[in-house]
Each structure stands twice: as C-alpha cells, then as structure tokens.
C-alpha cells in the first residue's frame, strides 16, 4: 500500500497532462479523456482516503526529493482526500448532466476547449486541496480563477462576457490581497511550507513580537479568500456569472470553485496560523457577522428574483454565509458543521442547477417563473430532483441539508455569546429558504391545462435522468448516514493540527 | 513608528502603490484603467518582495571567485517568487485584455457601467 502515497501527486499531474493533450485534439476525444480522467481521479482519491483512514495520520509527499524547509510538499490526510474524492464525483456528475446544453450553447468546434478548462480547473482544485506550500497554493488559486473565467465565458453572449469581466476583477482583487498577506507572512516567518510557517508563527506569538504585522497579514489573507469565495458584500458578480453561463459551469462554479477557496482558508487557519491564534485575533467575529448578513440578504435577494437560475445563484450567497458563520463560531464543532455544509451544499446546489435546466427546457427555454408553471409534470425527473434539492436546502430531515443545519445549531449551542444571534438568524434564514424554494416547487407542480410545450421522459435523455438520480442518491446518503462522514471530518481536522 | 517607516521607505512606497493599484482596479469604470491598476498592484507586491529579499551590501546569489559564504549573498527566494508572480500577472493581464477587446467590439465602449446599461436595454 506504500504506493498510494504517490496518488495525490499523480492525480494532479494527470489533470495537467490531460489538459495539455486535450488542447491538441478535436471533437469528442477531449470529452472522453476528461470523463476517463475524472473517473481515474475519483478512484485514486478513494484509495488515498482508505489509505489515510487505515494509517490514522496524514502523510507527506516530498516533491523533487528536496527535504522540508527548501522543497515543495504535498500533504494528504483524511479531510484532503475526502474533499478530493467529493470534488471529482460532483464534477463528473455536473459535466454529464449539462452535456446536452453544452452542445447547444457552445460554438461548434470549441467544445473541446471546455474540457481543457475543466481539466485545468480540476488540477488546480486538487492542488489547492493537497498542497503544503503557500506559494504553490497562490499559483493554483490564479490557475483556478483563469479556468473558472473561461468556464463562464465559453457561452458567448454579452451577459457572460460582462459577468466574466466582473468575476475576474473581484477575483483579482482577492488574489492581490492574498498574495500581499502571504508575502508579509513569509517575511515574518521566513518559510513558505505550511508546517514550518506554523512553528514560526507560534514562536513569534510566544515571544510577543510583530503582533500588528501578523494580524495584518492574517486579515489580508482572510479577506482575500472571502472576496474570492463570494461572501456577502462581495457577491455582486455572482448572480450573473452563475445565472447566464452554461449549466455545467454554473454547477461547477457554485459547488466547487468557491469551495476550493474556502478549503484553502481552512488550511490556512489550521495549518499555517493555528486555530487558537486565529481565534484570538477576533477576525472570526467579523466573519461571523458577514456570514449572518449573507444568510439573510442572500435569501431576500433570492425571494425578489423572478428568474430561476438567478434565484438559485442568490441562494448560494446565503449558503456561503452559513459556512462562514460556522467559521465564526470559533469552535471545533462550528468548523465540522462548516465542512459538512461544504459537502452538502456542493451536492445540493449542483443538483438544483442541473434540475432547473430540465425544467426550463420543457418551458420553451424561458427561466421566468410564470412560464415554468406545471413544468414538474412535463419533465418528471427534473421536477422530482428539483424538489429533493429544495427540501434539502430548506433542511427537511432525510436530506443532507438537514444534517448541516443540525450541526450548525449544535455548534451554536456550545458557544454562549454567539448562540442567540446564530440560532435566530438560522431560524429566519430557514424560513426565507422555505419561502423561495417552496414557492418554486409549488409553481412547478401547479397543473396547467393544454400547453404547447413538449414533454420530456426518461427515454429522451437517459444520461441526464441518470445523473439526476445519482445526485438524489448522493443527497440522501449524506442525509441518512451522515455519521461516518462527520467522523471522517473530525478525524481529518484532528490530523490538521 | 515614524522612524521605522523612514528606514523602510521601500516597503512604505510599495504599500502606497498597492493601495493606488487596488483602488484603481476596484473603482475605475474604464476597463483599460482597471487593468493598469491591476498591474500597479501586482508590481507593488514585487517591489515589496524584492525590498524584503535584499540585504544591504551583499551581492546577487551567483557564486563568483569561489566565494561560497552565505554571508556574501542576498536571499534568493523572494526573487524566485517575483519571477513566478510576474508569470501569473502577465497571463491574467492578457486574459483581461482579451475580454476587454471582446466587450469593446460588441458594445463600442470601455466603460463597464455603460456596458451594463446596454445589457439591461438588450434585456438578455
């Protein structure tokens, strides 16, 4: 089993090579290479997960055989491999679910470029998950941004290009701040590897030196990553980017790209700064506040929206708010809840985007609610899937969203000062979620008489229906047997520190 | 505090430049000015890194005349980071410029707010 230690590195390299090879190919080959790559990476991540679970600790893979303070390292533990596995599965499903739209919406002969971009995106996500070096993390953050921008603008119309420009501007502001914070921290510690940085930071804090520069660098990195992951007030670019890009891109962007940045922030909190030091800086109070505001304002914007795709996009703002609220609790339980919510939101939001496209397809391509009336009968698979996703987002038992809400409230009870605001906002936000999601579900199941719109059955799009079924199963698995996943997250967090 | 600021004037200038670039990227409505802001911002970080890596009175870390003493050379890592950063910022600027060309051809303006207005009129 020693060979498994090479798997994280191999999976990143495979993505990079697949991207390079696909860029020279035409037609469907790129798609099959991409599908094969995603399956192989899923298997490799699963092996890594099993290996780390058996090993009981994380392991370090030294790149280029240069030892610790100089060389570059990859580090894999339970949490990292769990995330990698999950990212690969969601990406595979999102791509297959949105493939028929991709063929319609992307210029003929340019589809292979889409797969090149997703290969690169996956490589950067995996690298963000596995890397143990801060500067490598920065470089892959930029690769992630560039490929995500490509995913938005591959569907050529004015809206998507404008959305891509706005996305790039916000992302570049974020990565500028991240880089500056990173450079300051490098100057303070003299290291770029996360583990060495953590030792130096602990020493600096123990000696009481450089208190202000340390706080400034932590703030810069946190704010940079918050901007990139679209925490409320920085979410202005999000509805256009998710609402008008092709559906696979929307699913991938909302469920994976923003989560990659959040995972990097978790790594910075645990592996670079140290949880206690981060906690003492009081930045978490600010994250908590903005998380709460995001939960409310994201939902209110979603209620006002008259376009189903933009409504789901605004719901993402609220869900990102939940994740940052969990960070803001400042307890281990809050962190576990946030990480579980990353998984649950990724599984649910991509399901919703993919299901919504099925509903709009049987409504003449219109995304307005008035046209969607009764679409749940015309496309039964999409209707059921959308309902499952909505119930999960609202937090009905049996579905994954319920478990994350449960974990959040348990975490809130443990923290006496923040219990009241967290529980109140959690309650309000659940009601708001229910308002806009149930409104949509009722709308799609309101019977209408004769319509001119076509009816879609399983036979028309078997792959699409199978993807929806897989998403529903994933959601219910996360909802019913959540305990093993929560245990894995706890174990992974223990390995972090 | 003031004295420190004066001795580390390089870093202080870098921070001021970073602020200028950041403000331009965030607030300018004109896309080209935004890209200029982006480049000022990135360059400010390179200046900061270079300033931090330099140690007065020492040479670039290239072994000449057989001097292998560590004390004779500056820290080479920040220079390496600057190089990597430049590559990243070049590719990002190229992408932004390409997007700007696309938008300009479609809407004949570089003003992002104006483009948003036209998009609303199109009602897409």
Q: Is residue A340 part of a domain?
A: yes
Contacts of B52 in chain A (CB under 8 A): 183, 186-187
Tokens of A161: 């290009």
End-to-end CA distance of chain B: 55
Asked whether the beta carbons of residue B124 and residue A172 sit closer than 8 angstroms, the reply is no
- CB-based contact B48 A180, cutoff 8 Å: yes
Of residues A135, A165, A180, nearest to B103 (C-beta): A165
Task: Report the number of distinct structural domains present in chain A.
Answer: 1
Contact across the interface for A172 and B81, Cβ inside 8 Å: no
Range of B91's domain?
Answer: 2-122
Tell whether B113 is within 8 A of chain A (Cβ): no
A61 domain-assigned: no
Query: How far is it, in rounded angstroms, from Cα B116 to Cα B109?
Result: 11
The model's pLDDT over A158-207, given as tens digits with 9 standing for 90+, comes to: 888 888 999 999 999 999 999 999 999 999 998 889 988 999 999 999 99
Look-up of token digits 């959690």: A426
Candidate from B38, B81, B96 with C-beta closest to A135: B81
B92: chain A residues, CB-CB within 8 Å? 142, 145-146, 168, 172
**Which of A 147-166 lie inside 8 A of B, CB atoms?**
149, 153, 157-159, 161-162, 164-166
CA distances from A92 to A19, A38, A89, A118, A467 (A): 15, 6, 5, 10, 9
> Could you tell me the residue range of the domain that residue A360 belongs to?
282-497
Tell me how far apart the alpha carbons of residues A228 and A261 are, in angstroms, rounded to a whole number.
Answer: 7
CA distances from A167 to A4, A94, A227, A231, B83 (A): 37, 21, 10, 13, 25
CB proximity B116 to A under 8 Å: yes
Query: Can you give the pTM of this predicted structure?
Result: 0.94
pLDDT band at B1 (very low <50, low <70, confident <90, very high): low
Question: Does B3 score more than 80 pLDDT?
Answer: no
Look at residue A71 and tell me if it is in a domain.
no
Contact A85, A49 (CB under 8 A): yes
Question: CA-CA distances (angstroms) from residue A164 to A171, A172, A469, B16, B117?
Answer: 10, 12, 31, 29, 16
* Residue located via tokens 């609402």: A243
> What would the mean pLDDT of B82-110 be, rounded to a whole number?
91
Instruction: Report if residue A321 sits inside a domain.
Output: yes
CB atoms within 10 A of CB A439: 13
| Tokens encoding A43 | 């298997």
CB A356 within 8 Å of CB A468: no
Contact assessment for residue A161 and residue A296, using Cβ atoms and an 8 Å cutoff: no
- Its sign, for the CA torsion A47, A49, A482, A400, is negative
Is residue A219 situated within a structural domain?
no
Q: Is residue A145 part of a domain?
A: no
Chain B residues with beta carbon closer than 8 angstroms to that of A157: 124
Asked if A244 reaches chain B (Cβ–Cβ under 8 Å), the answer is yes
Pairs across A and B, CB distance < 8 A: 84
> Which residue has tokens 């390496």?
B80
Report CB contact under 8 Å: A158, B52.
no
Q: Does A286 touch chain B (CB under 8 A)?
A: no
The pLDDT of residue B124 = 57
- A290 within 8 A of A322, measured Cβ to Cβ: no
pLDDT at residue B2 greater than cutoff 80: no
Mean pLDDT of all residues in A418-426: 89
Tokens encoding A366: 């219109």
A404 part of a folded domain: yes
On whether the CB atoms of residues A137 and A128 are closer than 8 A, the answer is yes
SS3 A233: coil
Residues B75-102, mean pLDDT to the nearest whole number: 91
The answer to whether residue A44 sits within a structural domain is no
Q: What is the CA radius of gyration of chain A?
A: 22
Residue A107 gets which letter from DSSP?
A: P
Res A27 pLDDT > 80: no
Summarize pLDDT for A462-491 with one digit per residue, the tens: 888 899 999 999 999 998 888 999 999 999
Cβ pair B124:A142 closer than 8 A: no
Residues in chain A: 497
Kindly compute the dihedral angle of the four CA atoms of residues A96, A98, A101, A106, in this order, to the nearest 10 degrees. Answer: -80
- Taking only the tens place, the pLDDT of each residue in B34-73 is 999 999 999 999 999 998 888 888 888 888 777 778 788 8
ipTM score for this prediction: 0.94
Six-digit token pair at A491?
A: 């174990």
Domain count of chain B? 1
Q: Cβ of B34 and A145 within 8 Å?
A: no
Tell me the three-class secondary structure of A414-451, residue by residue: HCHHHHHHHHHHHHHHHHHHHHHHHHHHHHHCCCCCCC
| DSSP result, A248-284 | HHHHHIIIIIHHHHHHHHHHIIIIII-HHHHHHTTHH
């Amino acid at each position: 089993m020693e060979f498994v230690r090479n798997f994280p590195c191999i999976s990143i390299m495979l993505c990079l090579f697949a991207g390079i090879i696909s860029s020279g190919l035409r037609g469907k080959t790129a798609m099959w290479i991409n599908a094969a790559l995603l399956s192989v990476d899923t298997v490799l991540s699963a092996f890594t997960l099993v290996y780390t679970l058996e090993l009981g600790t994380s392991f370090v893979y030294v790149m280029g055989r240069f030892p610790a303070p100089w060389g570059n390292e990859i580090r894999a533990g339970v949490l990292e491999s769990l995330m990698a596995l999950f990212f690969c599965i969601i990406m595979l499903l999102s791509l297959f679910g949105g493939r028929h739209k991709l063929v319609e919406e992307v210029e003929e002969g340019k589809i292979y470029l889409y797969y090149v971009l997703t290969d690169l995106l996956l490589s950067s996500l995996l690298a963000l998950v596995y890397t143990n070096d801060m500067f490598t993390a920065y470089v892959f953050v930029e690769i992630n941004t560039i490929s995500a921008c490509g995913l938005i603008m591959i569907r050529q119309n004015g809206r998507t290009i404008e959305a891509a420009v706005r996305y790039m501007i916000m992302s570049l502001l974020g990565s500028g701040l991240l880089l500056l914070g990173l450079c300051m921290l490098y100057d303070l510690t003299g290291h770029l590897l996360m583990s060495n940085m953590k030792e130096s930071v602990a020493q600096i804090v123990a000696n009481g030196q450089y208190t202000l520069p340390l706080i400034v660098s932590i703030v810069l990195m946190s704010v940079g990553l918050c901007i990139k992951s679209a925490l409320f007030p920085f979410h202005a670019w999000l509805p256009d980017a998710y609402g008008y890009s092709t559906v696979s891109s929307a699913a991938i962007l909302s469920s994976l790209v923003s989560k990659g940045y959040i995972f990097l922030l978790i790594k910075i909190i645990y592996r670079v700064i140290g949880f206690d030091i981060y906690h003492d800086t009081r930045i978490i109070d600010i994250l908590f506040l903005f998380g709460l505001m995001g939960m409310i304002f994201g939902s209110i914007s979603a209620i006002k929206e008259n376009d189903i795709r933009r409504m789901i996009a605004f719901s993402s703002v609220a869900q990102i708010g939940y994740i940052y609220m969990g960070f803001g609790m400042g307890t281990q339980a809050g962190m576990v809840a946030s990480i579980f919510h990353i998984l649950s939101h990724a599984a649910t939001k991509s399901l919703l985007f993919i299901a919504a496209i099925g509903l709009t397809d049987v409504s003449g391509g219109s995304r307005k609610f008035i046209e969607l009336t009764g679409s749940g009968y015309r496309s039964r698979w999409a209707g059921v899937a959308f309902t499952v996703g909505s119930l999960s987002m609202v937090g009905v038992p049996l579905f994954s969203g319920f478990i994350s809400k449960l974990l959040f409230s348990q975490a809130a009870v443990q923290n006496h000062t923040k219990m009241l605001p967290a529980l109140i906002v959690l309650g309000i936000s659940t009601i708001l979620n229910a308002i806009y999601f149930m409104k949509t579900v009722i709308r799609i199941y309101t019977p209408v008489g004769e319509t001119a719109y076509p009816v879609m059955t399983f036979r028309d799009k078997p792959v699409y229906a199978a993807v929806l079924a897989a998403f529903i199963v994933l959601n219910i698995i996360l909802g019913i047997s959540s305990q093993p996943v929560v245990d894995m997250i706890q174990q992974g967090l223990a390995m972090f520190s | 505090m003031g004295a420190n600021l004066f001795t580390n004037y390089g870093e202080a200038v870098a921070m001021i430049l970073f602020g200028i670039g950041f403000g331009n990227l965030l607030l300018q409505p004109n896309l080209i000015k935004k890209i200029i802001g982006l480049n000022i911002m990135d360059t400010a970080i390179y200046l900061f890194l270079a300033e931090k890596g330099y140690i007065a009175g020492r040479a670039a870390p290239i072994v000449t005349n057989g001097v292998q003493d560590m004390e004779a050379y500056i820290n080479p890592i920040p220079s390496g980071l600057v190089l990597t950063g430049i590559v990243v910022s070049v590719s990002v600027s190229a992408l932004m410029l390409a997007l700007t060309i696309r938008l300009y051809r479609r809407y004949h303006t570089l003003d992002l707010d104006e483009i948003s207005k036209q998009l609303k009129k199109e009602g897409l």
